[in-house]
Each structure stands twice: as C-alpha cells, then as structure tokens.
Structure 1
Amino acid sequence: MAKIFIDGESGTTGLGIKARLEAMPEIELVSLPQAARKDPQAKAALLRQVDLAVLCLPDVAARETANLVATLGDAGPRILDASTAHRVAPGWIYGFPEWRGGQAEAIGGAKLVANPGCYATGAIALLHPLVAAGVVSGDFPITINAISGYSGGGRAMIAEHDAGQAPAFELYALDLEHKHVPEIMAYGGLARRPIFVPSVGHFAQGMLVSIPLFLDALPGKPKGRDLEAALAAHYGASAYVRVVASAEQTRIEPESLNGSNRLELRVFANETHRQVVLVAKLDNLGKGASGAAVQNLGLMLGLDLKP
C-alpha cells in the first residue's frame, strides 16, 4: 500500500484528488492535524513516512514544501506538484503523459513531477503535435481563446457564483499575463508568445480551449483534414485523449466530459474560406487538475489507478 500526503487537501484540487484516492484500496492517505499544518518539523516528520507528497498549494507554499523535501535527501518522498510553481522549472518532469513519446515513462521514473495547468493541457494537446509535425511553425502568431467553469477560479469566485453575485460570463487576465502562458510556450513548441484570452462562465465545471488558424498562412497550405490526421497520428489509441471528427457539427458545449479524465480534440474546418478552429474539451477539475494528478500518481507508483 502506497502512503500519500496531500499538502493542501482542503482546496478544490486537493479535495478532488482525495475523493478519487479514498476509493482506492492500494492507497493510504495520511494527513497532519490542523494545528500542525504550518509546523515545519511536524511536516518534515510526516514527509519521512510517506511515499509521495501531492502539493495543492499556492506557489510560494509549494516551493517551501519542495525545499523542505529536498533537505530530507533520500528520506524524502517523491513529489507531484499541482501548483504553477514548478511547471517550467529545471529538474521537474511535466506531468502530461500524452505530450510526447516516452513522457509517461519519464513521469513514472521521476522524483519531481509538475501537474499541468487546465488551460495549458488543452492548448498544448492541440499545438504540440502540429508544431512537431511541421504543420504549424513554432513562431506562428497564435491566438488562444478559452472558457472555464467557475470552479477553477478559487474559493472567492466559487462563493460569488454560488451566491448568484457573479456575472454570467466575463473575460479576465486582459493584462495578457496569465500564469499558464510559460508552460504553453515551453511544451506547445512555441517560439513566439501567444495571445491568450481566458474567460469564465456561470457553470461549475467544464472547459473549451479554441485556436483559430488561417490555413493558407500555414506551411504547405494544408487542409483541415491534414491537421486532424496529424493530431490522430500523435495520440493513436490513447486511453484519455481522443480526436473526434467534427462532421457537420457547428456548435459545442463545455460540460459533457465533467467527472472524467478524458480530453477530446476537434478540428472545425471551412475549406471555402480556408479557415479552421481547433477545439479541446475537458473537465477543468478532471484532466485539467485532479484526474490528471491521479493519472500521474498511478504512473509514479506503478499502480493501475483509474482517474
């Protein structure tokens, strides 16, 4: 039985991970009493006893715990960090198993793994295979639009929506400094910073990430089906990432994958106008957070966990 400590188990992501793991007989969850959670000595003692620590903390606190683990040397546990703190940090493995060939194995052998951001998961899933295949150049000017359920916005936003005090829809991060951009660039293969415009809607869970492209501006002037084929070739028979034919579909909603660890990718093309919109759909609390964390935990522990 693997012993896991969730540091920050009362937050949205921590609660989601805990709920998934509690039903798994292969896992023993351990925790600190409320009064000891800010005591470094008590935390260090607990960390020596567990196989893996999951950090569901603000970035500063996540770095503090990671530094504490580092002082323990071989007595310290492996770490899965769900914060933004280490996603592009040297020495950390990016926790997106489907990112490229061998990534799942790299996660399985890593001591330090950084869980991806929710928006970043959708954007990277669309961009990386196309850039790697040369269908999209790394310095192409990319615009990413996305909408998430309000559960990804933290306690204050959740409270506002639950109380009926929040708008039905709003754009945010209009200073163009969203914290997911560095990982989108690093793992999407982008040399030019994309314009990222996130938004939040008055629904609890679900996410759509969309990227519009002019086909004639891409190398070789591909057709929409070429982009779809490149995505399908990359993900093959992946258990959790699927390329879905858009057929005659002209609209898409964000909530149908809620409660799952699945990620669906679509290419909506208009060959007459030579335009496409790439769309990723996922649960921002599933493949975008807690589900992805449990998938990574399974790889790190060598267990067949079902996220």
Structure 2
Amino acid sequence: MAAPSTRPTLFIDGEAGTTGIEIRDRLAGVAGLSVRSIAPERRKDPAARKALMAEVDLVVLCLPDDAAREAVALADQLGPRAPRILDASSAHRVAEGWTFGFPELNAGQAEAIAKAKRVSNPGCYPTGGIALLHPLVVAGLIPADYPVTVNAVSGYSGGGKSMIEAYEAGRAPAFELYGLGLEHKHLPELQKYSGLTRRPIFVPSIGNFRKGMLVSVPLHLDTLPGKPAAKDLEAALAKHYAGAQYVKVVPSDDASMKAGRIDALALNDTNLLELRVYANDQHRQAVLVARLDNLGKGASGAAVQNIGIMLGVAT
C-alpha cells in the first residue's frame, strides 16, 4: 500500500459510470484529497490499473460485480503494496472479511470502517430497509423471524446503463415492478444486516424520474411481541440514530407527516436518509418509510462518506 501522506490519494476504478461520475463530482469540493485517474483508452488495461493501484491509498470500485471481483484479485497481486478498497458494487456486501459501509448501523461501525482494509458500500434499497428494520430487531420490537415485506421505488438512474438509456429515450413505462422472481441481488444484504433469520419478501420498482427513493415496510402492530404502539417504533428508531449526521427520524408530530403523502425526490443531491413511522392507531397498522437519494446515501453519497472515514478526511 502507498506510504501514508498528508494528502491521501485514491483511484476510482470505473469513474466513467453513473456512480463513479457522482463520486468525482461530490469529491470536487473536498480539500486535502488527491484523485488519480487513468487515460480513457487505458481504463480496461489490467497492467495500467494495477500500476495505479500500487500508488494510491484507496481504490473505489464502481464496476459490475464480476469486474469488481477481478479488480480485487488484481489488487491482491500487489501483496503488501495493495491499497485499501471500497467496493460500490454488490459483489462483496455479505462476503467474509469485508466491513459493511453503513456507519450508522451500530455504535462502533464507523470506527470499524476507519480501520478496515476492505469496505463494501451498501446498496440503495438495503440502505433504507436496513435503516428501518435493524434498530427494531435489535430492540426486540420486530422478531428476527418475522415475515417482513419491503416495498420500494427508485429513480431510473439506479438501474444501469440500458435502463437509463431506455427512460431518457422515452422507451420505458412510467412505472414498473421488477425482481418479481423474488431473487433480487440485494436480498442477502437486506436480510443479513437487518438481523432477520427469515428471508424477507422484497418488491422493488422503478419510476419515471432520474433519482430519488422510497422504501416502505408495512406492519400489523398486533402481530408484534408486546403489541407495541407506533410511538414505540418511532422512539426506538430515534434512540438508535440519536446524534447521527445523515440519518434523521422525522417525528410523528412534524407538519410534513400530516399530509399523508411523501415526495420521493425531496432529498435528491444530499446524503440524507429520513425515517418515518406512519400509523393508524384505530386499526393498529403502521408503515415504516425511508426516503433517500438512490445516488446519494444510496450510492455515491455513502461512498464519499466512507472515503472520508477511511482516509480521515472531512467530506
């Protein structure tokens, strides 16, 4: 690995993709950090990439899963000169030896990220689902084997190059469900870090807007241990994220809760994640809702947050 310096260096492997471009843009205003690049014609040259990896402190992978695995193998060939790695793909999110890059997950998670050699950046949908479910499972309000359903809608920018092209060319529908084989690649991550022993049902969807995301979890409160009230769920979430910079629990008495509707795009271009508990006390039903920018806290924003933690740089 490169020798420590007063100006840490990083290389974004896959900087021309959606996530890579967003990371570069977000890092533009970060002082004390040097971002290295490879000439466009050499971006797929293993020798050039390996040589640059040996010169930087951190490599950020913004690649498809198989390419991310190949990049890690390339870095491994460097032995003691290998850089630290932050992987924005889904290739290593539940892999042994990788630290999950959700700093707010638990007390001490940010410290673990700061010390880790390899960090997996969370997925956009799981970020919302895990943020809602994990604290409630830890608090015993939702059993680990509870039959959880997670519904979500994302802007089309999270769907990759072909989906982005289809929507921007007007060839895609206004709204569509997908992943209906119930094998979405985010499921293992969602289950593991939520603390669930029963595999959740996850139904993602895409709306005809570029970015923005809502993740929701419906609950019948009378089926939960102790039959908690909605205010108990809200209190557990607020306690878990007390003092968090980027994760906020919106209280039920907030004026924005009264409308009974929520805009998926309201947190775009931020690294914020909002959590809400909507409820009908008469019918003992609740819906947990997370709102975020799928390219912010759901991808590039989270990556920049992790870069700052790993390199000790204020972002």
TM-score by length of 1: 0.98
1:45 equivalent in structure 2: 51
Q: Within 5 A, what are the aligned runs for 1:143-182?
A: 143-182=149-188
* Aligned mates of 1:228, 1:54 — CA distance in 2: 35
1:230 Cα shift? 0.3
Maintained 8 Å contact 2:30/2:314? no
Maintained 8 Å contact 1:118/1:284? yes
Decide which of 257, 266, 270 is 2:276's aligned counterpart. 266
The range that moved more, 194-203 or 41-50, is: 41-50
* Aligned mates of 1:75, 1:9 — CA distance in 2: 22
Decide which of 278, 281, 284 is 2:291's aligned counterpart. 281
Is 1:136 aligned to residue 146 of structure 2? no
1:69 Cα shift? 1.0
The range that moved more, 212-221 or 237-246, is: 237-246
Maintained 8 Å contact 2:100/2:121? yes
Is 1:255 aligned to residue 282 of structure 2? no
2:4 equivalent in structure 1: none
| Unpaired segments ≥5 residues, structure 1 | none
Task: Work out the number of aligned pairs and report it.
Answer: 305
1:65 equivalent in structure 2: 71
Maintained 8 Å contact 2:100/2:119? yes
Q: Within 5 A, what are the aligned runs for 1:214-253?
A: 214-247=220-253, 248-253=258-263
Letter in 2 for 1:238: A
1:292 equivalent in structure 2: 302
3-state DSSP class of the match of 1:120? helix
* Aligned mates of 1:25, 1:267 — CA distance in 2: 38
Q: Percent identity?
A: 62
1:207 equivalent in structure 2: 213
3-state DSSP class of the match of 2:160? helix
1:74 Cα shift? 1.7
* Aligned mates of 1:42, 1:152 — CA distance in 2: 29
1:112 Cα shift? 0.1
Is 1:94 aligned to residue 104 of structure 2? no
1:31 Cα shift? 1.3
Let me know the Cα RMSD of the aligned residues.
0.9
* Aligned mates of 1:128, 1:22 — CA distance in 2: 33
Maintained 8 Å contact 1:216/1:274? yes
Letter in 1 for 2:223: A
* Aligned mates of 2:44, 2:293 — CA distance in 1: 31
1:206 Cα shift? 0.4
Q: Deviations over 1:214-263 (max 9, x none)?
A: 00000100000000000000000210000002332311110110000000
3-state DSSP class of the match of 1:239? coil
Q: Deviations over 1:123-178 (max 9, x none)?
A: 00000000000000010000000000111111111111112221110000000011
The range that moved more, 232-241 or 155-164, is: 155-164
* Aligned mates of 1:268, 1:23 — CA distance in 2: 37
Maintained 8 Å contact 2:153/2:215? yes
1:86 Cα shift? 0.3
* Aligned mates of 2:263, 2:27 — CA distance in 1: 29
The range that moved more, 38-47 or 48-57, is: 38-47
| Unpaired segments ≥5 residues, structure 2 | 1-6
2:3 equivalent in structure 1: none
* Aligned mates of 2:269, 2:208 — CA distance in 1: 18
Maintained 8 Å contact 1:62/1:83? yes
The range that moved more, 249-258 or 88-97, is: 249-258
